[in-house]
Amino acid sequence: MIDSFSKQQRSAVMRAVKSKGNRSTEIALIKIFRQYHITGWRRNSSLIGHPDFVFPKARIAVFADGCFWHGHTCRNVTPAENAEYWQAKIKRNQARDRAVVRALARKGWKTVRLWECEIKQGKVRKLKAAGLF
């Protein structure tokens, strides 16, 4: 598939994707927390892996993962240009995610990883399973 953007435009689009304050993940998850009256969360934690949200009293770290960047199967889209780079990048992200979960578990933290598509659909079963409400 041919990219609809030029190389420079695609580069600008990818640079604009921020890891903090993302509307489709973090901001949407805050709305879910408020909707279900989930309290006790904090942002900007310095824990290993920099979770998007932490619940210090419950020792739960919540990550809001973008489906593209973390390789969720809902999208199965790899850019046609530079495909090898993107596949390797996503595999590195996944390996880092697994290492972070293990490191947090060794420190006594439970980890909840929510996919962007789950957040968009308002699926909260992982939060419920973690005992947040």
Any bridge partners for residue 60, and if so which? 55, 110
Q: Which H/E stretch holds residue 32?
A: helix 28-35
Instruction: Tell me which CATH code domain 19-129 carries.
Output: 3.40.960.10
Q: Map out the domains of the chain as residue ranges.
A: 19-129
Instruction: Please write the tens of the pLDDT for every residue from 49-61.
Output: 999 999 999 999 9
CA distance 113 to 104: 13
- Are the C-beta atoms of 63 and 45 separated by less than 8 Å? no
pTM of the predicted model as reported, rounded to 2 decimal places = 0.81
Q: What local confidence, expressed as pLDDT, does residue 113 receive? A: 96
